[in-house]
Each structure stands twice: as structure tokens, then as C-alpha cells.
């Protein structure tokens, strides 16, 4: 493999796992000639990285392939580790990278247990490296547009938010079928919507009531196919998150992501990848002109370089914790309060 | 006033109060020549019935007008009492009517406190008369269409429901500004959406977590302008209810009523008075053809005559109780369980 192509600023990348959205890395590559993907390894027992390695090759990188990611990190000494293995193993891999002062670009959730999240935060505190999460939906044209409109004050103060994630189920691998490797549908699917509540409002979570069910999951073991969360945030702001894997196979898209944000001066909605605003100012039509999307990986590279990022490590920890609290609420059928 | 116009089947109606949706009575009159409106009185201290009496006159009824509704009931001996005073007084008036074996067509909620609801249920049990609630939104073309499609099995088993009530605030009277006369936004506005969860699923409520806020209510005293409820029903069915009075004045309609119902075979939505279905069967377009709307008052008259009604007295009690539980949850910031 050709190292050092872009001189002293080169960013050597190792990929751990092929289960998450590694695609975010490839999407952003055109903007980042300094990035060099140098090696890959599975991050979870039983994970197959064949297809991942083929894809990396297709992008023109000749990589070393390892069976053991720890060995890969020690041998290759990358600047950045992309963590995209089974979700229950994210934190374990990230901790190993942070210990070695390697930056981590992790699939969400950053951890699937409180214990792992604590270990990860500790490793982050002791490390000279940064961690970023694959909160890729923030970077889409519709959500960037909605964020811009809200920041311009078009809806006034946010009071109420209704977020939705709806996916087609299809046939999911074994890693989705047990809690330990999967982590739960609230942390895996719901996290995006929970992130929106936090991102748009900029407020702290105070409490959550949640519910989830694995009934009618078409042979997917412990996988929950319906879930609902009720968050209370600072300033008496409330947010619902509806999550399901019941989107019919005939639906035109895989996902039906939505948010409706009710403010003191207006209401904005993201639906069907479009953005609609109604407020007290007359306008010819409620649909907003879209801003361009961005690359979440390019944003992470900028973050490493000391620029501000759309989502900080601290934010990613907060959103991950909110998911775990919501899952705990659903498991215990009681309100869970945030510290 | 001209009594006995339609002979032995005549239904003499007295109206108590002018605050609720008395309009439902007028809308249905064309279908019911046997109905005769004979008198009206305020049901709450300070309630003005001028405009109500004018409207009744415009429909061709010459009515007696009373200052005291109890005296009216005793003097006029109506078959039906329409209860539409300040919401906190609904139950008190209904109890007086039921005691006299007069049928009650009440604005919702049927009661605004547990104590009043218990008294009302007891009065109903001891009465030979029936009680019906003004759950008028069930009778609209869009909700009747959605109900029909769900009953035909198009979405399979219901798993998740997201209901929405969004109103313009405008300038509301004093009776909206204090809890005692108003009862709360969850019971007044949210009740329709809570009713939909119950009506569509046909399942019992098990628990509710709710929140409400009177912040940014533009001088409306204790009136809550945002609220969110999270219901858990039998069979791990979950339902969210989002409620607000923050619909911008420029919006094309007063209300933005919606429900999204996610089933094992499909998803149906009511939005903008239209109905959309996606399920596993290919179809040219997701919009459903509408069935006709019905009159809630005509349905109540049929109920009195021994026919089945779209909503029974027992259902109206259950939905009213669910609202009071949700309000209690919001007041106490804790989950409230149903017996």
C-alpha cells in the first residue's frame, strides 16, 4: 500500500468491523486526500469482513487484513480507528484505540451498557485522542435545513418535539437477535431521533419514560420492533420518539424519518426528506429551500484538526446515555431520571 | 313553543350551557324531525347564553329561557339534556339530569375530577337514562374511513400509535384560564386523541406517563399550551399523544389533527383530513377513498332508541378516566397505572 502520499498530514485509518455504517467513511473520501485506509479487522467474534475489504479495494486502497484488531492497532499504529463492529462491542474496541491515543470514529451508540459507557468516558478522559459518532442523519440536507431555520429563530422557543424512526425489517443477521450483541432498538434505531431532540433544543434531558416490544418480530429473537419514548427536558420541553421496524416492504424508501418541532412562533417539520415551516409570517408555500448535505466523516476529520464539529465527543456521550436510560425505562417500566 | 309536532316519538331537548360544542346538536337536526329544542339555561356561574338562544331561534325553535338549569329540568321535563357548560361543571349537571331519568348528551370530558367521575358513574348506574359524549371527531369522514380500513384488516395487528392535536390558541375566555373551570388541556383537547387510541385498538389502558406546561401561554393563566402523553395498553401496544395550542395563526385550519397507526401488516395515517395507507399489497396511490361523515347527535338519538352507537356510555367513562389519569401523571411527574 502507498503510504505518505499526502506528506506529513496523512491520516492513516484502520477499520474495525463491517456491521455499522462504514459507508460514511467512503462517502467523505473525495474531500480528504490526506486520508489513507491501511488495514481492516473484525471487531466481533463471527464478523465477516470480506465484503468490507472488497469495498475498500474498490476505492483504490491496498490494505492489510488482520484477524485480531488489537494486533492491527499495535502493528499499523493508525491515526484514526473506525469502529463499526457488532454494537455491543463498540465501546470495547474504542477503549483500546483511545488507550493508544488513536482517534475513534465510532458507529452509534458509543456503548450499549452503562458500565461500558463509563469505561469509555474514562478512556477518553485519559487519552490524547478524540472520539466522534456516526450521527450521520444530522448531516443530511433536510436536517441541516431544519436546524438552520430553527437557529434563525423562525419557530421561536422550542416547546414540543415529535420524532419518528420507521424502518423496514427485512432479514437481519444473528447479531440483531440477541440483546448482548445488538444492544436494543432504542439505542440502535432510536438514537438518531433522541439525538435530534438534544441537538435542536440544546437542552438537558431530565427524565424519560419508554416502552419497547419484541412481539411480532418475525423470528428475530429479542429484537424489539416497536418502541416509544417520552422525554422531559429543561424548561418544560417535551419530546416523543416513536420507533418501529414495521415499515411495509412496499414502501418507497427504507426509512421514514421525521421530526415535528413546535415552537412559540411556529412549527417546523421534516418529512419525506423535505422541510416544511408554518409560522406567523405569511409565505407563499410552507416548503423550505434545502441547504446541501455534508459528510459526517469529513466533519470528524476537521474535528481532529481542531475545528468545531457538528457533534462533540461530549454530545455523543450524552446522547448515548439518554438511549441507555430510555432502554432502562422500557425494561423496568418506570420513569428514569437523569443526574 | 310548539310541542308535540312529531307526535308520540317526540324528543324534548333542553340545553345547559353555551360553552361546548352545542353545534353538534344543530348539525344533526335535519335527520331528526322528532327532536324539539324546548329550553336553555346556563350551566355555570357567569355563563352567557345570549348567542346560544339566538342560534336556537334561527333554527326555528321557540324556547323558554331559564336562569337556573335545575328549575328548567323540573319545569320542562325534557327527554334529553345537552350539557355544554364550563367543563368543570359537566358532571354536576349530568348527575342532576340522570337523577331525573333524563338522557344526557354531554360535552367531553364527562367529568374533570375523579370524585365527579365517580358520582357520575353512580348516577348513571342508578338511572334509567343513557349518557353519550360529544366525541365528534370519530364521526368525521377521515376517522370513519381510517376505522373502516383498520377493521378490514389492512394493517394487521396494531402495535404503535402516534396521535396529535394541535390548535390555534386565539383569545380564550376566563373559563379556560383556571383549572377548576377548565379541567386541563389533556382532558379538554387531548381527550379526542386518547379516545382514538382506545377506539382503534380496542385495548385497555395499562399505564400513562404524561407532561404538560403552561409556559408561553400568552396570558392564559393556568392553561397548558403543550402536553405529551405516553400510554401503554394491553398486548404491549404503545400510544403517544402530542397536544399543543401553538398552531400559528397563519395556518390554513384551526386544528391539525392526526393519527399514525403502525400495524403488523401496514401503516395508516390521518393527516390534513385525508387518509393514507401503506401495506404489503401494491397499490397505485396510498390515499384512501373517503366514506361519509355522520352526526354524533343523530348517533346518540339512535343509541337512546336502543340501537348500537359508535361510542357507549362505558367507553366515554373509560376515555374520560384515561384523561384524568394522564393529567394526574403530568401533575405528579410519575407513571400512573390503571386498575
- Residue A339 has a pLDDT of 85
Mean pLDDT over the full length of chain B: 95
Tell me whether residues B211 and A225 touch, CB distance under 8 A: no
The reported pTM is: 0.96
pLDDT at A9: 77
Q: Provide the edge-to-edge strand list for the sheet that holds B35-41.
A: B64-65, B35-41, B11-16, B80-83, B103-106, B131-133
Tell me: the pLDDT tens digits for A89-108?
A: 999 999 999 999 999 999 99
- What pLDDT score was predicted for residue B8? 58
Measured in angstroms, the CA of B190 and the nearest CA of chain A are apart by 14
Lowest mean pLDDT among A67-71, A232-236, A333-337, B3-7: B3-7
> Within chain A, how many helices (H) and strands (E) appear?
11, 14
For residue B1, the model assigns a pLDDT of 30
Range with lowest mean pLDDT among A176-190, A311-325, B24-38, B40-54 = B24-38
Task: Please report, for residues A28, A265, B271, B274, B330, the alpha-carbon distance to residue B227 in angstroms, rounded to integers and kept in the order given.
Answer: 41, 17, 20, 24, 8
Question: For position B282, what pLDDT does the model report?
Answer: 85
Closest in B225, B228, B250 to A240, CB measured: B228
The residues in B 68-107 lying below 8 A from A, measured between CB atoms, are: none
Residue B330's pLDDT band (boundaries 50, 70, 90)? very high
- Measured between beta carbons, the chain A residues lying within 8 angstroms of B219 are none
Candidates B167, B186, B211: best to mutate against A (most CBs of A within 10 A) is: B211
A226:B262 CB<8 A: yes
Q: Do B335 and A249 touch (CB under 8 A)?
A: no
Q: How confident is the model at residue A29 (pLDDT cuts 50, 70, 90)?
A: confident
**Strand pairing report for B80-83 and B205-213:** unpaired
Whether the per-residue pLDDT at B7 is higher than 90: the answer is no
Mutate to test the interface with B, among A154, A207, A250 (most CBs of B within 10 A): A250
With beta carbons under 8 A apart, name residues in chain B contacting A265: 248
pLDDT in tens, B302-329: 999 999 999 999 999 999 999 999 999 9
The mean predicted confidence, pLDDT, of chain A is 95
Q: How confident is the model at residue A8 (pLDDT cuts 50, 70, 90)?
A: low
Mean pLDDT of A250-270: 97
Torsion, CA B51, CA B56, CA B58, CA B62, rounded to 10 = -120
Does the CB of B285 have a partner CB in chain A at under 8 Å? no
Q: What is the pLDDT of residues B82-110, one digit of tens each?
A: 999 999 999 999 999 999 999 999 999 99
Q: Is B159 on the interface with A (CB under 8 A)?
A: yes
Query: Hey, what's the cell of B34?
Result: 322528532
- In the predicted structure, residue A176 carries a pLDDT above the cut 80: yes
- Chain A positions touching B278 (Cβ under 8 A) are 247-248, 250-251
Q: What ipTM was predicted for this assembly?
A: 0.95
Report CB contact under 8 Å: A166, B250.
no
**Helices within B108-173 (DSSP H only):** 114-125, 141-151
pLDDT mean over A117-127: 98
- pLDDT-above-90 percentage for chain B: 93
A213 touches chain B (CB under 8 A): yes
Measured between alpha carbons, how far is residue B15 from residues A76, A272, B11, B47, B236 in Å?
84, 47, 13, 13, 42
- State what percent of residues in chain A have pLDDT above 90: 93
Which residues of A fall within a CB distance of 8 Å from B164?
Answer: 162, 260
Q: Tell me the shortest Cα–Cα distance from B42 to chain A, in angstroms.
A: 35
For chain B, positions 228-247, list CB contacts with chain A under 8 A: 228-230, 232, 235-236, 238-240, 242, 244, 246-247
Sorted by sequence, the CB contacts under 8 Å of residue B139 that are 6+ apart come out as B293, B294, B295, B296, B299, B310
Stretch A158-163: mean pLDDT, rounded? 98
Amino acid at each position: 500500500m502507498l503510504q505518505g502520499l499526502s506528506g506529513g498530514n496523512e491520516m492513516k485509518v484502520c477499520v474495525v468491523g463491517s456491521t455499522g455504517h462504514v459507508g460514511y467513511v467512503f462517502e467523505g473520501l473525495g474531500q480528504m486526500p490526506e486520508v489513507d485506509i491501511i488495514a481492516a479487522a473484525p471487531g466481533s467474534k463471527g464478523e465477516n469482513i470480506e465484503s468490507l475489504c472488497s469495498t475498500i479495494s474498490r476505492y483504490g486502497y491496498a490494505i492489510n487484513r488482520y484477524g485480531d484488531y488489537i494486533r492491527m492497532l499495535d502493528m499499523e499504529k493508525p491515526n484514526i480507528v473506525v469502529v463499526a463492529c457488532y454494537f455491543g462491542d463498540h465501546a470495547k474496541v474504542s477503549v483500546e484505540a483511545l488507550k493508544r491515543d488513536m482517534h475513534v470514529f465510532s458507529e452509534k451508540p458509543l456503548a450499549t451498557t452503562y458500565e461500558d459507557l463509563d469505561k469509555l468516558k474514562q478512556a477518553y478522559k485519559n487519552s490524547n485522542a478524540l472520539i466522534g459518532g456516526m450521527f450521520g442523519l444530522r448531516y443530511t440536507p433536510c436536517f441541516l435545513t431544519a436546524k438552520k431555520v430553527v437557529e434563525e429563530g423562525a419557530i421561536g422557543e422550542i416547546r414540543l418535539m415529535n420524532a419518528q424512526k420507521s424502518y423496514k425489517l427485512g432479514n437481519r443477521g444473528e447479531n440483531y437477535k440477541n440483546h448482548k450483541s445488538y444492544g436494543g432498538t432504542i439505542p440502535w434505531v432510536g438514537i438518531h431521533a433522541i439525538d435530534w431532540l438534544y441537538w435542536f433544543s440544546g437542552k438537558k434531558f431530565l427524565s424519560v419514560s419508554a416502552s419497547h416490544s419484541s412481539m411480532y418480530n418475525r423470528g428475530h429473537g429479542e429484537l424489539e420492533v416497536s418502541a416509544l419514548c417520552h422525554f422531559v427536558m429543561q424548561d418544560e420541553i417535551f419530546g416523543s420518539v416513536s420507533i418501529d421496524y414495521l415499515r411495509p416492504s412496499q414502501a418507497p424508501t427504507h426509512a421514514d424519518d421525521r421530526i415535528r418541532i413546535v415552537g412559540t412562533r411556529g412549527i417546523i417539520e421534516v418529512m419525506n426528506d423535505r422541510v416544511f415551516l408554518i409560522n406567523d409570517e405569511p409565505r407563499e408555500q410552507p416548503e423550505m429551500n434545502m441547504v446541501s448535505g455534508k459528510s459526517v466523516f469529513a466533519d470528524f476529520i476537521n474535528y481532529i484538526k481542531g475545528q468545531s464539529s457538528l457533534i462533540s465527543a461530549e454530545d455523543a456521550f450524552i446522547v448515548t446515555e439518554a438511549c441507555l436510560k430510555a432502554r432502562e425505562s422500557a425494561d423496568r417500566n418506570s420513569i428514569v431520571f437523569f443526574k
